[in-house]
A and B are shown apart, each in its own frame.
Chain A
Amino acid sequence: MRGSPAIDRVIASLKRLPGIGDKSASRLAFFLLGAPDSLVADLADALSRLKQETVMCADCFNLGDRTPCPICSDDRRDDSLLCVVEEPADLSAIEKSGSFKGRYHVLGGTLSPIDGMGPGELRIGELERRVRSGGIREVILATNPNAEGDATAHYIGDRLRPAGVLVSRIAYGMPLGGDLEYADHVTVGRSLENRRKFSD
């Protein structure tokens, strides 16, 4: 018993969030207790609007305030390129790069059988339908280069094979600002395998 049911309730609610344990929940609750009223009110307002005002785009499954989302309704983008990402945050990361002007498809996760995530839990069927509906020349699989992301990319690649579109995978290799000395041997090996011509 901490003495205040209100504090206990906030701590109990915060503890239900991923990555928040007892100590973090207590720290956040006591921070909020000592914070200006405006900050707490803003947070409460933002949280209450979060679910009400966020919608999923019916085309790409990105999250935003309308459907179709601004990317799907932008007719300057290339309809023939489709980039497949795990989550909306990955879409944002690619958008920030400014290097891609095609369309997106958000899977909603990766194949992770240990977490109960199979093909039925991802938007793979919707992806197949989009590809089959025509107009797509290339599907770029931009899932993360880890075990789950690679396995998902291979699975989707197999599923899309009958559709006859070009399926590509984002490149593996050294990160910008990386250091060969500290890189693992798989990354170094893949960097060499995926090397490109430096000059003509």
Chain B
Amino acid sequence: MAAIGNRTRDRVRAPLDDVPALVLRTVEFGEADLIVHLLTPTRGRVTAMAKHARKSVRRFPGSLDLFNHLEVKIHPRRRGGMPLLDRARLLSPFLALRDDAARYGLACYVMELLSRLAPEEGVGPEMRGIFHFALEVLEALEHSRPDERMRVLVELRALDALGMRPELRNCVRCGREVEGPSVHFHVADGGVICRRCSRDEELPLRAHLGTLRALEQGLRFPLAELSRLALSGQSLAEAHAIVARFQRYHVGLELRSERFLNQILRSSGGAGPTPAA
């Protein structure tokens, strides 16, 4: 166990040389410094100090801005202080996200979710999956304006990338594939339950089997093609209820950007989905 602990510590202390990163958030610090929260494919969430970033036009020119896709070099500090951001080269700024409140709102929502839930200084292949999900969302939002349907599917994909995917096909109690046309989704148990396992005193969410199949498809589709996935008004309401309540129960976070996102999506695309019965 000690050997594994040392290896993990060594890995965390190792510098990051020219690795891709996404800017999740920046916080002004002191007179001219910035604390930069980054998402990387090798180490998950990394927080680094960019010295003089707010004054120097040469050191980090135009690079340390929200959503920016960068290539960074980060050095650890000897006495365990916050690592230093040595260099940041801008790969893509995703400028279209700034031109539209809905794109901006959903991108902020995803960045906030990842900045709260992506493992800090993590190790393992799931870090790569989280990073690629974030990059794919920003790329998709560059090319399409989100609506409530895309928001629900992006939320589901975020849960999947973070290892918290709801079970949509097999009963979480007996393992049998559930049958339609109407199925039960048990929020606390994290997935669908078949009629045989359903108990009278429980009040699970009800949804059509077609809604669950559409959500499963949404997990497989490339994010850039999510707009091709058709969801009726009823299915959207059911999908919204499942994803929102699953997230609230299992993630337990109230994201600050959710209020803005709700406001923008409702004002731009009519009323949002009403909760499913």
Chain A hits for B104, CB < 8 A: 111, 113, 147, 151
Take A147-B65, A154-B99, A186-B62 as given contacts and tell me if A113 and B105 are in contact as well, using a CB distance cutoff of 8 Å: yes
User: A147 — which chain B residues lie within 8 A by C-beta?
Assistant: 65-67, 97-98, 104
Chain A interface residue count, Cβ-Cβ cutoff 8 angstroms: 28
Q: Which residues of B contact A158 (CB under 8 A)?
A: 101
CA distance A18 to B28 in the complex (A): 8
| Cα distance A19–B57 in the bound complex, in angstroms | 21
Is chain A's interface secondary structure helix, strand, loop, or mixed overall?
Answer: helix
Q: In the complex the two chains form, what is the Cα distance from A24 to B259 in whole Å?
A: 35
B25 touches A114 (CB 8 A): yes
CB-based nearest A residue for B258? A113
A157-200 Cβ-contact flags toward B at 8 Å (1 or 0): 01000000000000000010011001111110000000000000
Q: Is A98 an interface residue (CB 8 A)?
A: no
**A146-B109 Cα distance, complex, nearest whole Å:** 18
Nearest residue, chain A, Cβ from B115: A114
Cβ contact of A113, chosen from B30, B99, B112, cutoff 8 A = B112
CB < 8 Å A-B pair total: 79
How many angstroms between the C-alpha atoms of A124 and B232 in the bound complex?
35
Are A111 and B57 in touch, CB under 8 angstroms? Answer: no
Which A residues are within 8 Å of any B CB, using their own CB?
A: 18-19, 24, 111-116, 118-119, 146-148, 150-151, 154-155, 158, 175, 178-179, 182-187
- Bound complex: CA of A179 vs CA of B263, how far in Å? 42
Q: Which residues of A contact B62 (CB under 8 A)?
A: 183-184, 186-187
Q: How far is the CA of A119 from the CA of B62 in the complex (A)?
A: 26
A147-B97, A182-B57 given; 9 more Cβ-contact pairs under 8 Å: A18-B28, A19-B29, A24-B30, A114-B256, A118-B260, A147-B67, A150-B99, A179-B58, A186-B95
* Least distance between A89 CB and chain B CB atoms (Å): 12
The residues of A that contact B99 with a CB separation of less than 8 Å are 150-151, 154
User: Can you report 5 A-B residue pairs in the complex whose CB atoms are below 8 A from each other?
Assistant: A19-B28, A114-B25, A154-B101, A184-B90, A186-B62
